[in-house]
Amino acid sequence: MNRLAKQVAAILALGTLMVGALLVFGLSRAGDHGDPLTPQVLVPGALGVGLLALFALRTTRSARPLLDLRLLQRRSLAVGATSMLLVGGAYFGSMMILPIYVQAARGDSATVAGLLMIGQALTTGIVVQIATRLVDRIDPRKIVWFGIGATVVAMSLMTSVLAADTSYVAIAGIGILMGVGIGSTFMPIMTAALRGITGPDLASGTTILTTGNQFAAAIGAAASATLLTAYFNSRVPVLDDGGMAAALGLPDVERLVAAPGLAGAVADTYVLTVGMLIAGFGVSLLLPKSGAIPGPDTPQGSTQAMASDAAG
């Protein structure tokens, strides 16, 4: 019987990989076409969702599930996972948008795009360390609300200031603000979500959050790519419905003419990420009230440590 259980677990693990692969493939095809209702998108997407439903059904009925989704009946984990899905989708979607702006609207290289985002990455890393220590003394919900609020401000600025000639210094500054927001968000969300979950359930709870974050990255990037491609095709006739690929391959002369339309399309795509963040903020208001987290020798202190490791 033990051997059979191991075989079932292996099959479920393989099925989980297939779910992720099919969903990501379908979502990426949506970004290529700018239309999520094509068969190239709907077929793999439906298969992925179907496998995900089967996986969820199997795990909720199993006495020893590979991943105990029944933990989502706990308010803290359900709210935390939903918040992370929305905030993560917005963040990773924005990470895809900016390089397209730099290369398509400005005609600069991917190296320039990477350099432009260094400040944001460094700020995120520094603030994560600060937030990790603050949750020892401050209710994690307050840190989460501050982080999401700062990120909303940063992405809202991108929608309003981004143009064909916007200063890279201004964009880098907004990126630093975004780094402050994101660095203050992910780890405190995980800490608040895992509060009260101990023992063997802690591993499943952490896996649910990290797996959800991975799905959020794929969903957010694909949704942003789909909307951006649709905007490119509808606003920049010279692309001839070629989407992002055509925008990235424009000759310099044509790019100068198309740059305002390309930049406006990117700016308006940030509205999607702002909406996801606002929704995530609304969900995070439902996180259970909690006091400061005990030290590392207590069960909740161990929860914080595991959340920190997973977020890092």
In this structure, the dihedral spanned by the alpha carbons of residues 286, 24, 202 and 6, taken in order and rounded to 10 degrees, is: 150
Question: Which region holds residue 67: left if phi is over 0, alpha if psi is between -120 and 50, else beta?
Answer: beta
What pLDDT is stored for residue 213 in this prediction?
85
pLDDT at 56 over 80: no
Q: What is the mean pLDDT of residues 17-26?
A: 60
What pLDDT is stored for residue 27 in this prediction?
62
Q: What is the mean pLDDT of residues 19-46?
A: 62
Higher pLDDT, 134 or 136: 134
pLDDT at 111 over 90: yes
Please report how the helices 140-161 and 186-194 are oriented relative to each other, as an axis angle in degrees rounded to 10: 150
Q: What is the mean pLDDT of residues 81-95?
A: 93
Q: Please name the helix (run of DSSP H) or strand (run of DSSP E) that holds residue 133, with its range, or none.
A: helix 118-134
For residue 129, give Cα distances in angstroms to 122, 145, 172, 312.
11, 17, 21, 9
Q: How do residues 244-292 score in pLDDT, each as one tens digit?
A: 888 988 998 999 999 999 999 999 999 999 999 999 999 999 988 764 4
Confidence of residue 59 (pLDDT cuts 50, 70, 90): low
Q: How do residues 199-250 score in pLDDT, each as one tens digit?
A: 778 888 888 888 888 888 888 888 898 899 989 998 998 988 888 888 988 9
pLDDT at 2 over 60: no
For residue 213, give Cα distances in angstroms to 19, 93, 217.
15, 12, 6
What pLDDT is stored for residue 1 in this prediction?
41
What pLDDT is stored for residue 206 in this prediction?
87
Q: How do residues 135-169 score in pLDDT, each as one tens digit?
A: 878 889 999 999 999 999 999 999 999 999 999 99
| 74-311 maps to CATH 1.20.1250.20 | yes
Residue for token digits 């603050």?
Answer: 134
Q: Which of 303, 305, 263 is nearest to 107 (CA)?
A: 263
Domains of the chain, residue spans: 1-66, 74-311
Average pLDDT of every residue of the chain:
81
> For 17, how many CA atoms within 13 A lie in the half-sphere containing its CB?
5
pLDDT at 19 over 70: no
pLDDT at 106 over 90: yes
pTM score, whole prediction: 0.79
Confidence of residue 28 (pLDDT cuts 50, 70, 90): low
What pLDDT is stored for residue 264 in this prediction?
95
Higher pLDDT, 117 or 46: 117
Q: Which of 185, 181, 179, 178 is nearest to 158 (CA)?
A: 178
